[in-house]
Structure 1
Amino acid sequence: MGRALTDAGPETEFWQQLRDYDHSAWRFEQQRQYDIGYEETQLRAFLDGHPESPMENPELGAWMRQVAAQTRAGKTIGRVRIVDTPITDYQRWMAWMDRWNTEAGEQIDYLLRSMLNQLPPAPFGDTDWWLLDEGTSQARVMIMHFDECGYRRLVELETDPAALSAASEFRRRVVSLSRRQAERPAAR
């Protein structure tokens, strides 16, 4: 097990890692929903048919501005989102928000959950994770553990070379498969 990171706001270790990476950040995102308090109002408005720009939300807007600043500085950021069939309400909302993420410079790919069986098992099980500064001496993985409701309960920082290699290989394979699939979920 890696070292547990603090994760209780923008100045904690988890958020500092996402702010201070040097070259690249990539996320494997596979939860069906997330319990993130600051998203609740926007998610509810979307589900009620009155979507609100994420830029109106202090936390989401700050994230989009951070991504834009990082990509302008030459850093890369991306992710593969695993989605269900049928897509969950939360996944639909995330697909609707892609416009802002991609305008900020993030590369977002999707993969149907049913296609995961074409890959070897994900290196950290049913967790989500960020691979930061891949291929450099500063490479690391932040492994995010969630409860059954999608609440992030623990973040570990892992620097073991075998774990980094497994994360890098899985990233390469899942990105390749998602781009061959090339299917984006409908955000309606």
Structure 2
Amino acid sequence: MMAELPPFAELLAGCERSAVHLEMRDWYDVPSERFEAWKCGHREDPADRSQWWSEFHQTIADAVKRGVQVKRARVVSEPITDYIRFEYDVTFSNLAVGEQVRWLPRRRASDVCLPGNDFWCFDDRLVRFHHFSGAGAHLEDEMVSDPAVAKLCATAFEMVWERAIPHSDYRPV
């Protein structure tokens, strides 16, 4: 059994320079009222924060205000899945709080060595891996402070980031 991990907000609050998130799955089967509403045809109004603002958004906005660079890169298969289309449609909320987001079509990542799991890397020193089932259900998170693992993740993220397409320029297939 894994030890209890610090909440994400606590990890980000302790961050001084950077927090990067690499997402590599095409489907996440996690409970989401936003996704369910989106599947039924609801589209959020970026100007109406009451539709989408959450504690997560506040946490990111607070970190960015302190000077932390928050970046998210998504490696995606094309044509994209419904879940990735949903993520694309709601990425305005990530951008609104100061996150930088880029997309990398999986076919352009073939020669990049990637860790086996999605992760957040904080200040290039602490990694929080996300473990999912094959069907996309979140199983658990794991914290790793091994400098070699942190370097591997930071390097992989930067390789993806350099190749990835900024959200404003990416047109999903």
TM over 0.5: yes
Equivalences for 1:1-188 in 2 at 5 Å?
4=2, 6=4, 12-37=6-31, 39=32, 41-52=33-44, 55-56=49-50, 61-119=54-112, 121-122=113-114, 124-125=115-116, 127-134=117-124, 139-179=125-165, 184-186=170-172
Size of the aligned set, in residue pairs, is 170
Q: What CA RMSD, in Å, does the superposition of the two structures yield over aligned residues?
A: 2.6
Higher normalized helix content (fraction of residues): 1
Change (3 A) 1:57 1:128: farther
CA-to-aligned-CA distance 1:52-88 (integer Å, 9 cap, x gap) = 3595468x61111221121111111111111121111
Normalised TM-score (structure 1): 0.79
Q: Partner letter of residue 19 of structure 2?
A: A
Q: What is the identity, as a one-letter code, of the residue corresponding to 1:110?
A: W
Are residues 76 and 66 of structure 1, via their aligned partners in 2, closer, same or farther at CA, if it must alter by over 3 Å?
A: same
Runs of 4+ deviating beyond 4 Å: 53-58
Query: How far apart are 1:171 and its partner, in Å?
Result: 1.6
Whether the 8 Å CA contact 1:130–1:141 is kept in 2: the answer is yes
Change (3 A) 1:17 1:82: same
The letter of the residue matching 1:16 is: E
Normalised TM-score (structure 2): 0.85
**Aligned to 1:118, what secondary structure does the other structure show?**
coil
Q: CA deviation at 1:4?
A: 3.9
> Is there any run of 5+ residues in structure 2 with no aligned partner, and where?
none
Distance verdict in 2 for CA 1:4–1:176, change over 3 Å: farther
Give 1:111 shift. 0.3
